[in-house]
């Protein structure tokens, strides 16, 4: 087998009726339906994505994969509620997304997403506390719980500027998980790390997922990272992003890298991403 038997155009009816842990999954947790996203400035409209649709089920590790500029971050911002679709809609638990909320938390690529005047514990506890759900003490306990999960208990009283890039990303992940969001949104969270640390972080993220079973929407432009991190991958065309294909990738893990099958899958995805170059780009108002 070439490792590509899982290629499928879209999640089919069978998949929608599958069961996880014995529970029937009748509806997706997150539905992105025919979403077109645009940036508007006087005299100029940039279409970032066109007519994109996908469904994310509970405990999916769903990856948006595409070339730089294809609209991955914009899609994530729309799911986060920071941008409204020009066309189409985004549903979370069947309800349209109309703005940001604590049920969707984003981890970004940048290392400077942590306020430097707060300790690691305060950084993780603060959003939980201000979202109004917990006392200071409860929030600190929740922070300690997730800091332990990302292996940073010893650094709870440290300040971010004393941490490495990888450690800062672990704090950002702990902070996001501490909110116990319905969907964890990650925008190239490991892209600024060196190759060894990036691989270690991918491994840790998968271990964390095994333990916590959060639902993940993960953006990357690395085919290898998509195959390793995701159980399902949406392939987006170059700018403006359109759905090229959706594939199942649960068969790959960190030990798959370098095998001929993994290489073949990578090559096939590369072909799917870049064949039939799009001519449509920016449109003028």
Ligand X SMILES: Nc1ncnc2c1ncn2[C@@H]1O[C@H](COP(=O)(O)OP(=O)(O)OP(=O)(O)O)[C@@H](O)[C@H]1O
Which residue in 4, 25, 46, 245 binds ligand X (CB under 6 A)? 46
Residue pair 273/227 in contact (Cβ under 8 Å)? The answer is no
Q: Which of Mg ion, ligand X, none has residue 70 at its interface (CB below 5 to 8 Å by kind)? A: ligand X
Query: Which of 4, 191 has the CB closer to ligand X?
Result: 191
Cα separation of 109 and 172, whole Å?
Answer: 10
Q: Which two tokens stand for residue 52?
A: 């994109």
If DSSP codes are grouped into helix, strand and coil, which group holds residue 65? strand
Q: How many residues does the chain have?
A: 285
String of DSSP letters for 88-137:
EEEEETTEE--S--TTEEEE-S-GGGS-TTS-HHHHHHHHHHHTTSS-HH
Query: Which of 46, 134 has the CB closer to ligand X?
Result: 46
Parallel, antiparallel, or unpaired: how do β-strands 61-65 and 7-8 relate? unpaired
**If binding is defined by CB under 6 A, does position 239 make contact with ligand X?**
yes
Span near Mg ion by CB under 5 A; candidates 69-77, 147-155, 235-243, 244-252: 69-77
**If binding is defined by CB under 6 A, does position 48 make contact with ligand X?**
yes
Q: Least distance in Å: CB of 71 to ligand X? A: 4
**If binding is defined by CB under 6 A, does position 274 make contact with ligand X?**
no
**If binding is defined by CB under 5 A, does position 31 make contact with Mg ion?**
no
Q: Across-strand partners of 38?
A: 47
Q: Least distance in Å: CB of 217 to Mg ion? A: 13
Comparing CA positions, the residue from 108, 82, 106, 81 lying closest to residue 92 is 81
Q: Least distance in Å: CB of 276 to Mg ion? A: 22
Span near ligand X by CB under 6 A; candidates 64-72, 81-89, 159-167, 267-275: 64-72
Query: Which of 31, 73 has the CB closer to ligand X?
Result: 73
Within residues 178-237, the interface with ligand X by CB under 6 A covers 221
Q: Which two tokens stand for residue 17?
A: 């009726």
Q: Least distance in Å: CB of 129 to Mg ion? A: 30
Which residue in 31, 49, 50, 73 binds Mg ion (CB under 5 A)? 73
Distances (CA, A) of 280 to 55, 156, 175, 228, 257: 25, 49, 39, 31, 35
**If binding is defined by CB under 6 A, does position 74 make contact with ligand X?**
yes
Cα separation of 231 and 216, whole Å?
Answer: 10
Span near ligand X by CB under 6 A; candidates 21-29, 65-73, 89-97, 168-176: 65-73
Cα separation of 55 and 67, whole Å?
Answer: 21
Name the residue with tokens 């949104």: 185
Q: Least distance in Å: CB of 256 to ligand X? A: 24
Q: Which residues bind ligand X (CB under 6 A)?
A: 39, 46, 48, 66, 68-74, 221, 239
Q: Which residues bind Mg ion (CB under 5 A)?
A: 73
């Amino acid at each position: 087998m070439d490792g590509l038997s899982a290629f499928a155009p879209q999640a089919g009816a069978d998949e929608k009726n599958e069961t996880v842990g014995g529970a029937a999954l009748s509806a997706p947790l997150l539905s992105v339906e025919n979403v077109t996203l645009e940036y508007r400035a006087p005299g100029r409209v940039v279409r970032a994505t066109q007519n994109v649709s996908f469904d994310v089920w509970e405990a999916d590790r769903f990856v948006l994969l595409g070339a730089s500029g294809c609209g991955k971050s914009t899609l994530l911002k729309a799911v986060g509620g920071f941008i409204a679709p020009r066309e189409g809609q985004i549903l979370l638990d069947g309800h349209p997304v109309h703005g940001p909320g604590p049920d969707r938390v984003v981890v970004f690529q940048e290392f400077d997403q942590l306020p430097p005047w707060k300790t690691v514990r305060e950084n993780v506890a603060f959003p939980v506390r201000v979202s109004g759900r917990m006392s200071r003490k409860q929030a600190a306990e929740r922070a300690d719980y997730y800091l332990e999960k990302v292996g940073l208990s010893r650094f709870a009283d440290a300040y971010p500027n004393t941490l490495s890039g990888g450690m800062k990303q672990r704090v950002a992940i702990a902070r996001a998980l501490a909110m116990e969001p319905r969907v964890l949104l990650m925008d190239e969270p490991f892209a600024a790390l060196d190759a060894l640390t990036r691989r270690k972080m991918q491994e840790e993220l998968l271990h964390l997922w095994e333990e916590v079973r959060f639902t993940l929407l993960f953006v990357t432009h690395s085919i290898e990272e998509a195959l390793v991190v995701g159980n399902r991958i949406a392939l987006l065309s170059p700018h403006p992003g359109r759905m090229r294909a959706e594939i199942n990738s649960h068969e790959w893990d960190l030990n798959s890298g370098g095998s001929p099958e993994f290489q073949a899958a990578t090559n096939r995805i590369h072909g799917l991403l870049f064949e039939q170059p799009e001519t449509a780009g920016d449109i003028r108002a």
